Structure 1
Amino acid sequence: MTGPLGTTEVQPRVMQVLVALADEAGRVVTRETLFERCWGDVYVGDDSLNRVVLALRKVIGQLGGEGFEIETIRKAGYRLSGSLAKVPDDIGKAAIGLDRRNLAKAAIAFVVLGGLGAWAASNSSRDRRFEALLRQGHAALAGDDNQFRPDVALRAFQEATDIHPDNPRALGWLALTKSYFAQTAPEEHSATSVANAAQIAQQALAIDPKEPNALMAMFELEGATLDWWGRDRLLRKVITIDSRNELATGELAALLLAAGMTRESSLWGERNISLLPLSQNALAGRATRLWMSGLVADADNVINQLRTSFPTSRWIWSVRFRLYAFTGRARAAETMLGADPGMLRKGPETDMWRTGLHALEDPSVTNIARAREACFAAAQVSGELAGYAMVILSALREVDSAFEVATGHLLSRSAIVQARKPAYEREPTDAMHRINTSWLFAPPCKEMRADPRFIPLCHGIGLVEYWQRRGVKPDYVRMDAAKPPRL
């Protein structure tokens, strides 16, 4: 490492910590992130990191590095502040691993002031633009203004990679955005879109194997091809690397809810809300989890406030609608639908809900028969409607019919399977709905869960294996039954 007062070699680990701090361009880097990036799977204590930071500060002082300093951010981590703007690509690449020979060479070339200062100044305008584009793209994906805009994000991340083609962060964000488009691409372009997103993700991971958004891109692309355990492990790996990754925390909360782990899902859901405090999707998830935990009044309070805050949101409307429908207030749901009929799509979806609500309000033999017929028809259109059909039938105590939909949709073992292309444009793939099984653990499905057919159904979709590998039991075992079922 070279500075105004001379040149010295530094230990590879010291150099690696400096690179990790510099690569974040003035942002706080948590101690956990430094352990993960610089020590990997080797467990070390806080003293090891403290000694490295102390050594780094000593070297900077010896070389006259007055242009920047390493700040300790209490209860958070460290931040490199001052004139150091970015790590040159050749040094950054050398520091990714622990190759002592290459890292030592990179350390000698790393200039504290003078050369690096001139390099940073000449590139500061481009780097500021680069960072601004990453922030813009992230805001568009996170929905900072409650507008999810992947098209805006795609343009921003593409321009950022034009500035720094080999930057793994920019490539990771670009791959993640392209993975969203790949999931809804027209059938004739689907394979090409998936391959392009995967190629960019792999390019990012070749530079930085722990790039969190590239890993999340692969998670989105692999989707239902991963088993429950594999998806759980990958999401937790991303969170270990990047504890503030709101997509990974949100996906983990959703996965746990779909696996019947409502209490654990709530913990991750609240963590997701702390990262995205104004996200209507995250807050609506809170209302859903409260309902699934049996806290109807609390769920009502949350969703009513959200309806006031986001009066035009279709998603908030739908959560309020379903809470009414499945908590003994079918007439209130019918009133909502009468006031806003456009909130549901015409055809199988509207037919299913209209007949279902009517039967919930007046469960005559004729009304139930009509609702059952509409639910079966809707379940053959898409996975999303199959899930709702199963809950409606369960709420009507049509347990046999509910199992017919569930086994047809999840296991293809009945006549009630998706028999044709979705009736609506941009319908997510049926495979994605097969792993969104939270409706199995909804309150109306209590009788299904008490039925001897429920555990074999969970065996068939891999949930029992997931529970056993984690050494956990789903919440319904505690909540539903005095005598827990044998898993």
Structure 2
Amino acid sequence: MQLLVALARARGGIVTRDELIAWCWDGRIVGEDAINRAVSRLRQVASEIGGGTFAIETITKVGYRIVDAALAAKDRSHESEPSAPTASRRNWLFGAGAAVAGALGTGLLWRKPWQHRPDPEAVELVRLGDLAQRASRPDQTRQAVSYFERAVRIDPLYGAAWGMLALSYTHGLDGFSEAQLAGLPDRIRSAANRALELEPDNPDAQLALACVLPYFRNWSRLEPELSRIQREYPDHWLANGRLAILYYQVGRLKEGAALHMGVIKRDPMIPGPYAFAATALSRAGQIQDADALLKEAADRWPANPFLWHTKYDHLLFTGRAGSAAAMLMDPETRPSGTGDAEVAPFIRLARAIDKESPEDIEASVEDQVRMSRDDVQSIAFAAPVFALLGRPDLTLASLERYYLNEGSFGEPSPIGPYTRRYTDQLYWPAMTSINSDRRFRQLTTAIGLSDYWDSMDIDPLSLRA
């Protein structure tokens, strides 16, 4: 219906493919196939109406225009009837509109794409921002924000750009302390609300508003909203991804991996889902599947830092610490800017686990304690490492600091309403050593995770099975 309206309002003029994308897909990135399918369906409807009421003419390498089929035939035979076009066009427009509505299904919203035609420069910036956001790299995430901010400055009425800006802002919440947030939640809400004013069903804005809150302590609150968004927009890659990550936080590893695998099937050129799905499969014991997925991803993006770290973790925790060390020692496989000093503690850790040397193990424990004290976010990796190195006391002590800001491990780190803390590391097989410890249950009860497990009838002892 949107395609028909866009073509009809041009009154026989040519509508370019870029204009159709802006009007009918709100400037979102769509392929040639999406446009071709829509045109093909509209042509099929035209043929089914009978009488050759209207036709879609392709203007090679330019776009399309809608024509009165009967008049077009007469034009081709050099005949003309100047009094007919106005009434004829009105008749076939109404007839075609009813037919398209019937053919494509009832309940379609009349989106009035002519109300705002996005600025072409803004559309291009949104396209670039979307590509940058999909790269799963911190530097590219910042670049995406810059593209979207420029797009809304150029075209303040571009709802899709506001929605994508709001969603890109949410990436900045991860890994930041409360003091560093500096009003970011307010900026997310402002951009998302602006998008919804311009485009009430904007999925990016809805997802951004849902993701202002952290998963931590909000699992039960966020799951229904994220599930709704994913259900209503099943092809939205981040809607699937955000729900998958929530599943990982509560131990529903295979459900989360299935969502990310669906994203990969629909769009195999986004690296992030490979890393998330491979990690979940690894923790669920599907080692060969995780190996294959990481191999496929490495062939596509040999130096992506997210995939590189994921492969190291996977090898380290699946009994292949020697291979993990070898990977880090090879400078050709390292992401750009990763030097020897940065990888040294992790090579030492892999060797300690591989050789089981008490001296090396103790040195690695000290490395992880030091890094965790310098940055509380490092505990998310250090806690399962402590368990792997046979130090469950440090695992529990570090998690007490990480989740509750209590105990003697490390420096105090206040936890506010927007502070991100993650629980997916609880499901590494190495963490089974603390499952039966009463302090583990006390910890999960204190943060509300036990209540979630009980409400879903989940046995935490079976989460790694």
Q: TM-score, normalised by structure 1?
A: 0.65
Matching residue of 1:373 = 366
Counterpart of 2:94, as a letter, is G
Structure 1: distance between partners of 2:369 and 2:137 = 38
The 5-angstrom pairing of residues 315-334 of structure 1 reads 315-334=306-325
Counterpart of 1:170, as a letter, is A
Say yes or no: does 1:231 pair with 2:222. Answer: yes
Say yes or no: does 1:457 pair with 2:443. Answer: yes
Cα shift readout 1:96-147 (whole Å, capped 9, x = no counterpart): xxxxxxxxxxxxxxxxxxxxxxxxxxx6xx5666655544433332349999
Closer, same or farther: CA 408–311 of 1 in aligned 2, 3 Å: same
Q: CA deviation at 1:367?
A: 3.1
Structure 2: distance between partners of 1:420 and 1:463 = 20
Q: CA deviation at 1:351?
A: 5.7
Matching residue of 2:403 = 410
Q: CA deviation at 1:253?
A: 0.8
Conserved? CA contact 2:263–2:273, under 8 Å: yes
Structure 2: distance between partners of 1:75 and 1:352 = 59
Matching residue of 1:335 = 326
SS in 1 for 2:450: helix
Conserved? CA contact 2:401–2:407, under 8 Å: yes
The 5-angstrom pairing of residues 196-211 of structure 1 reads 196-206=187-197, 210-211=201-202
The 5-angstrom pairing of residues 242-261 of structure 1 reads 242-261=233-252
Conserved? CA contact 2:278–2:294, under 8 Å: yes
Cα shift readout 1:261-292 (whole Å, capped 9, x = no counterpart): 11211222222223432212111222212211
Cα shift readout 1:194-224 (whole Å, capped 9, x = no counterpart): 4333322233345555432122222343335
Q: 2:212 aligns with which of 217, 221, 224?
A: 221
Counterpart of 1:265, as a letter, is G
Closer, same or farther: CA 312–322 of 1 in aligned 2, 3 Å: same
Structure 1: distance between partners of 2:448 and 2:177 = 30
Q: CA deviation at 1:398?
A: 1.9
RMSD: 4.3
Cα shift readout 1:326-384 (whole Å, capped 9, x = no counterpart): 12221221222222396697799746424422331233433333222222212212244
SS in 2 for 1:222: coil
Closer, same or farther: CA 474–63 of 1 in aligned 2, 3 Å: farther
Conserved? CA contact 2:126–2:147, under 8 Å: no
Conserved? CA contact 2:251–2:427, under 8 Å: yes
Structure 1: distance between partners of 2:393 and 2:180 = 40
Q: Which runs of 5+ in 2 are unaligned?
A: 1-19, 27-88
Closer, same or farther: CA 77–356 of 1 in aligned 2, 3 Å: farther
Counterpart of 2:393, as a letter, is D
Closer, same or farther: CA 431–322 of 1 in aligned 2, 3 Å: farther
Structure 2: distance between partners of 1:387 and 1:320 = 16
Q: CA deviation at 1:66?
A: 5.7
Q: CA deviation at 1:242?
A: 2.3
Question: How many residues of Structure 1 are paired with residues of Structure 2 in the alignment?
Answer: 382
SS in 2 for 1:456: helix
Q: 1:293 aligns with which of 277, 281, 284?
A: 284
SS in 2 for 1:65: helix
The 5-angstrom pairing of residues 467-486 of structure 1 reads 467-469=453-455, 471-473=456-458, 476-477=461-462
Q: CA deviation at 1:71?
A: 4.1
Q: Which runs of 5+ in 1 are unaligned?
A: 1-21, 29-59, 90-122, 422-428, 481-487
Conserved? CA contact 2:261–2:277, under 8 Å: yes
Conserved? CA contact 1:68–1:80, under 8 Å: no
SS in 1 for 2:143: helix
Structure 2: distance between partners of 1:198 and 1:79 = 28
Matching residue of 2:300 = 309
Counterpart of 1:267, as a letter, is A
SS in 2 for 1:223: coil
Structure 1: distance between partners of 2:22 and 2:107 = 11
Structure 1: distance between partners of 2:106 and 2:389 = 54
Q: CA deviation at 1:440?
A: 0.7
